[in-house]
Amino acid sequence: EPEVTQTPSHQVTQMGQEVILRCVPISNHLYFYWYRQILGQKVEFLVSFYNNEISEKSEIFDDRFSVERPDGSNFTLKIRSTKLEDSAMYFCASNLGAGTGELFFGEGSRLTVL
Amino acid sequence: KQEVTQIPAALSVPEGENLVLNCSFTDSAIYNLQWFRQDPGKGLTSLLLIQSSQREQTSGRLNASLDKSSGRSTLYIAASQPGDSATYLCAVRPDGTASKLTFGTGTRLQVTL
């Protein structure tokens, strides 16, 4: 069964450093997303991406965050100048189209900022 | 602003019981509602998706209902098993957006032997 894959599963970084989280969405999907979940809190929307551009972003997604689809398979989230409060589980998700709606999530990348 | 609430926050039942998890949302202008399962430290597994025009969806022992006008959904699990132990999340997608889901805080379910 097709699935969304994410790497790394866990990344530890020092405050102020840059991190890149990688995702391979399901191959025929057209919409891509990043969500995050701080420990013990709700899953929160960060950004949606379609046709090589951001279609929507939340207030969490400030100018330290960026997304990219560098090739036909990968979708990345970059966080510059990391802060302690960026520590969270980051989930990548994809779906076939806005009309179908069902989102499929990856296993997540746990980011720990020290 | 859409708010999604799930009750109860935690639930423990003996194996074999039927159970109902509740989800409520404040803004009824939704495109669809999706139920997920999350195991500790893991990702989200989609269980059921209900479009706003539908009243219910079924998959195996799971049945989800949607009452859009009252802002409520329920997830019914029949004949619960220890393997059903997980956190169950509901999420709503508003009308007019791509797929920005608003999640509830989840119900942590434990099914005991």
The first and second tokens of residue B50, run together, are: 């209900």
Write out pLDDT tens, residues A19-69. Answer: 999 999 998 898 999 999 999 899 999 999 998 999 999 999 999 999 999
How large is the C-alpha radius of gyration of chain B?
13
- Residue B30 CA to residue B105 CA, distance in Å, equals 18
A103 contacts in B (CB within 8 Å)?
A: 34, 46, 99, 101
Q: A16 Cβ partners below 8 Å, 6+ apart? A: A81, A82
What is the pLDDT, as a whole number, of residue B98? 58
Report the C-alpha gap between B96 and B85 in whole angstroms.
Answer: 34
Largest CA distance in chain A: 41
Taking the CA of residue B34 and the nearest CA in chain A, the distance in Å comes to 7
pLDDT at A72: 78
- Note whether A101 contacts B44, CB cutoff 8 Å: no
Measured at the alpha carbon of residue A94, what is the angle toward residues B103 and B46, in degrees to the nearest 5? 50
> Is residue B12's pLDDT more than 90?
yes
Does A101 contact B36 at a Cβ distance shorter than 8 Å?
A: no
pLDDT surpassing 80 at residue B6: yes
Give the pLDDT band of residue A86 (cuts 50, 70, 90): very high
pLDDT of residue B97: 61
CA distances from A26 to A3, A96, B68 (A): 6, 8, 30
Going by C-beta distance under 8 Å and a sequence separation of 6 or more, which residues neighbour residue A27?
A2, A73
State whether residue B43 sits within 8 Å of chain A by CB. Answer: yes
CB pairs under 8 A between A and B: 62
Residue B45 touches chain A, beta carbons under 8 Å:
yes
To test the contact with chain B by mutation, choose from A103, A109, A111, A112 the residue with the greatest count of B C-beta atoms within 10 A, namely A103
